[in-house]
Chain A
Amino acid sequence: MPRPDGGLITETNRQYYAGAQQKYITAAGVGQTMTSTFDTDLEFGSSDPLNGLYGLNNFVLYTSPNALTWTELTPATTAQTATATENNAASNTVQLAAANASILAGMTLYGAGITGNPTGRKVVSVDQATFIVTLDGTVTIPGAATTPVLFQFDSPFTMVGNIITIAASLLLNSYLKIQLKETPIQDNHGSYEYTRLNDVIDNFLIAYVGAGKLIPSVKRTDVIFHAKRGLQEFSYDTLKSIKSQELTINTSLSVIIPQDYVNYVRLSWTDAHGVQHTIFPANTLTTNPYASPAQDNLGVPTQDSFNSNITGTSQIEAAWASNDPRRISGAFTNQENITSDVLSPGGFYELALGQRYGLNPETSQRNGWFTINEREGTFSFSSDLANRLIALEYVSDGNAYDLDARIPKMAEDALYAHISHGILASLAQTPEYIVQRYKKERSSKLRNAKIRLSNIKLDQIVQVMRGQSKWLKF
C-alpha cells in the first residue's frame, strides 16, 4: 500500500487501521518532540494517570527499546531510586551514595523519609562526579545513614498543537509511539467518505471568490454561515446522517430527547431476535398538553405568589399511561376483556382481533405508541412498552459536534452550489438571471446528491425484481 504522497490521504496505513504513529529515536536526550500527523487532533489533559485530567487524553504515549515491548510513558516509568546520605540539615542539595545518569534536571524529589514528603522540590542540576543533586529549594534529609529517595518526572510529556514534547530522557535507538484510544480510531474509520466543512469553506474561497469571478469578494463569515446552513438543510433529507440511540424504557414510560435531536426518523422496539418493530406516533389518539394550569371552581387558572399560573399534573397523560393499548387495537385473545374496547364502545366484541368490519389500520397494530412531550422534552410511550429495548433513530443538523461538520463527498458539489446561490442571491448587484442560474444549479446538484446517496445498487434491484412473477395471495 502506498504511503501518503501528496494525495488526499494523509495518514499511513498504520495510523488509519491501528491508530498508531511511531518514531525512531536517533539521538538520546530530554526535550525531544514528536509531531502527530493523525487526521484527528490530539487532546491532552495530563501525562499522569493519577491526575483527574488524564481521562481527557485521546491518546496514550508509549516507549520501547525494540518496538516489540511497549511501556506507557508515565511518571512512574521515569522514576529513579537512589540513596541519600545527608544528615538533618536543611539544604538545597542532596548527596547521593552513587552516581545515576538517569536522574535529570526537571525531576521531582520524593522520599518517605524526607521531611514534608512529597517535597515537590525539583532537580536543577546533577553533578555525576560528586553525586550531588541541586534542587530548586531546601529539603531536610533525616539523620539516618542512608535514606531511600526517588526522582521522577511528574509530567513526563506535554502536548500543545499536536506536538508532543517529552520531558523524560529517551534512549538512543529506542522507539516512541502515539497510540490513539479506541473511540478516536473508530471515529476516523470511514472518514474518507467525507470532506470536512472547513475544507469546503477554504476550497470555496479559493475557487469561487476573487477578482474576475462572479463573487469578487465575500466575507468569510458569510461563507461559513451559508455552508453551515447548507449542511443543516442537507442533513434533514439528503445526507445519510441518521443517528440512533439504543434505550430502555423504564417505568416512567419516557426517554429524554437526545441533545442533538432535530427530528425523529423512526422509533422501534426490538424483540429477542433483534428484529425491530416500528412504534407509531399517537397523533390522533392523545396528546401531551404543554401546560395544565390548576383551575378554581369557576374554571379560572389560579396563580401563585409570584403571579405565575399554578400547574398541576396532566390527567390526560396519566390516563394515557394507564391505558392498555389493546383496548385501542383490539388485540385481545380473551373475548371477555373487550367489552370496554374504546373503539367499539357499543360492545361489538365479536369484531375484535381484526375481525371488525372496516378495520382501522392506523390503530390496528400492537407495537405501541409514542408521543413527544414538548413540556418535559421527552418521548413518552404507551404502557405496553415498559421495559422494552427501543431504538431511537433521528436526524441532527450536522452542526452539533465538530465531528459532524463534514459533508459526504457525494454531496460536496451540491454544497458548493448551495453556498454560491446563497451568496449571489444576497448580493445587491447580482443580475436576477445569475441568481436563477445558480438556483437551478443548486437544485439539480442537490437532486444528484440525493440520488447518489440513495444507494440504489443494481444487484439489489435485480434481487428484488426476481420476485416479480410471484403469485400474490390475498
Chain B
Amino acid sequence: MAINVNTVYQTVLLILNKEQRGYMTPVEFNKTGAQAQLEIFENYFDTLNQQIRIPQTDTDYADRVVGLDEKISIFKEFGNATSISSSNVFNLPLPYTGTSSTLLMVTAPVLTTAATTQYVIGNNANNNTVTAEEILNSEIQVFLNSQMVLNTDYSITGKTITFNSQPVINQNITVNAYPKEFYRLGNLFYTNNAIPTQELERVGRGDLFHLLSSSLTKPSTTYPIYVYEKNQITVYPTSIVNGINASYIRKPLSPVWNFSVGGSNQYVYSPSSSFDFELHPADQTELILKILLYAGVVIQSPEIIQVAASQVQQEQTNQKS
C-alpha cells in the first residue's frame, strides 16, 4: 500500500508540460518528492492533535482520527531497546546508522532454482552487503525478473528469504534494503517473562527527583518511569536492565524514481531500483499538488505555484473543517 512513484512523476510531468511550461528532471523530482512526502507526514501529527479534540462520528470511514491513525500506522514500529552495558540506560530500538540504501543485492543461488524456496541475501555489484540486523531494521523489497514480489509471499529470517511457494525457476532475484530511520518515540513497555507487561511513563528530569524521593509515587517494576535524553532512555527503578520494548514512528523512506537511459537518450523508468512513496494512497492528490508547488518554484512558474497552493489549501480546509 503505497503511492507508485512513477504514477506521481508522470502526473506531475503531464501537468507541467501541458502548456509547455518546463520539465522536471528525475533528480529534482526525487528531492521535491521527498520534501513533499515529509511535509505531509509531519502534518499528520498536528492534524491528529486537532482532530482528537473534536467529537468524531463513528460512521464507517468518516472518523478522521481513525483515518489519520490508518495513515500513521504505516510508519508504526515496535522493537527492543538494548541496554548499554547491562545498565538501566537503553539505546533506541533503531539507532540511525546513517548508511544509505543498498540496492540490487543478489542472492545465493542467484536464480530461482527448482525445489528451492530459500535464498540467502548477498552483496550487490559494488560489493555492498547488509547484516541480518540491518535487514531487520530495513524496508526490504524483493524482485523476481524486476517484478516486485508482494511481502506477503515471502518471509525473511536473518539473511535468508523463504518464499511461501516454489517460485518459477530461472528468474533473477534482486533485493533492495532501505534502512529505516527513527522519527518519534511512542510508548515504552517493560516485560519480564510471564509477569504482566508494564507501560513506562515518560518524565522530565525536573520531575524525576521528586518522583524518586516520593514514597507514594516512586517508580517500581510495576510502575516504571523513564527519562528520554540524547536519544537514550534511562529507566527507573535502576533494577530494570532488560526487557524494554518501544513503539515508535519511523520516517518515511525517500522516494526514488530511478531510470536507465533509453535508445533515444530518454529516461526509462527502472522499477527494480526505484522506491515508491510510502504515504497512504489517500494522500496521492495532495502529494502531487505539493510536488507541483515545488515544481513551480523550480521552473519559476508563478501560475503553477498559485494554482497548486490554492488546491492544497482547499484540500486541507476540507480535511479539517
Contact = CB atoms under 8 A, between A and B. Distances in A.
Interface in A426-453: none
A220 B192 CA distance: 21
Contact of A228 (B192, B199, B216, B222): B216
A160 B192 contact: yes
A228 B217 CA distance: 9
Contacts of A224: 216-217, 223
Interface string B191-224: 0111100010101000100010010110000110
A161 B216 contact: no
B55 A161 contact: no
A33 to B, nearest CB: 9
Contacts of A211: 52-53, 65
Interface string A210-222: 0110001001110
Contacts of B203: 221
Contacts of A219: 201
Interface in A142-184: 160-163
A17 interface: no
B216 A220 contact: no
B211 A221 contact: yes
Given A163-B193, A224-B223, 6 more contacts: A36-B194, A41-B195, A161-B192, A221-B203, A221-B225, A228-B216
Contacts of B55: 212
Contacts of A360: none
A302 interface: no
A198 interface: yes
Nearest to B192: A161
A162 B193 CA distance: 7
Interface of B: 52-53, 55, 65, 192-195, 199, 201, 203, 207, 211, 214, 216-217, 222-223, 225
Contacts of B65: 211
A212 B214 CA distance: 31
A41 B220 CA distance: 15
Chain A residues touching B, range:
20 to 34
Contact of A160 (B193, B214, B223): B193
Given A220-B223, A399-B216, A161 B194 contact: yes
A198 B198 CA distance: 10
A225 B216 contact: yes
11 contacts: A35-B193, A160-B192, A162-B194, A162-B195, A163-B193, A163-B194, A211-B52, A220-B223, A221-B223, A224-B216, A229-B216
A219 B65 CA distance: 22
A383 B72 CA distance: 76
Q: Interface majority SS on B: helix, strand, loop or mixed? A: loop
Give the 4 A-B residue pairs with the shortest CB-CB distance, closest first: A161-B193, A162-B194, A161-B192, A163-B193
A162 B52 CA distance: 39
Contacts of A162: 193-195
Interface in A348-382: none
A203 to B, nearest CB: 14
A119 B122 CA distance: 48
Contacts of A160: 192-193
A37 B55 CA distance: 41
Contacts of A36: 194
Give the interface centre of A36, A163, A219, A228 by most chain B CB atoms within 10 Å. A219
Nearest to A227: B216
A399 B203 CA distance: 23
A221 B52 contact: no
Give the interface centre of A37, A41, A161, A198 by most chain B CB atoms within 10 Å. A161
Contacts of B194: 35-37, 161-163
Give the interface centre of A35, A36, A212, A228 by most chain B CB atoms within 10 Å. A212
Contacts of B195: 41, 161-162
Contacts of A220: 199, 201, 223
B45 to A, nearest CB: 14
Nearest to B55: A212
Contacts of B201: 219-221
B51 to A, nearest CB: 9
A258 to B, nearest CB: 18
A399 to B, nearest CB: 7
A198 B192 CA distance: 17
Interface in A282-332: none
Nearest to A36: B194
A36 B194 CA distance: 8
A78 B267 CA distance: 74
Nearest to B222: A198
A41 B199 CA distance: 19
Contacts of A225: 214, 216-217
Contacts of A229: 216
Contacts of B217: 221, 224-225, 228
Contacts of A198: 222-223
A163 B243 CA distance: 14
Give the interface centre of B52, B201, B203, B222 by most chain A CB atoms within 10 Å. B222
A418 to B, nearest CB: 14
B185 to A, nearest CB: 16
Contacts of B211: 221
Interface in A23-45: 35-37, 41
A221 B55 CA distance: 27
A345 to B, nearest CB: 51
Nearest to B65: A211
A160 B217 CA distance: 26
Nearest to A210: B52
A201 B53 CA distance: 24
B83 to A, nearest CB: 15
A48 to B, nearest CB: 22
Nearest to B216: A228
Contacts of A399: 216
A30 B221 CA distance: 30
B85 to A, nearest CB: 20
A113 to B, nearest CB: 40
A36 to B, nearest CB: 7
A30 B273 CA distance: 49
A221 to B, nearest CB: 5
Contacts of B193: 35, 160-163
Interface in A56-113: none
Nearest to B49: A211
A212 B211 CA distance: 29
A466 to B, nearest CB: 48
A225 B217 CA distance: 6
Contacts of A161: 192-195
Interface in A211-261: 211-212, 216, 219-221, 224-225, 228-229
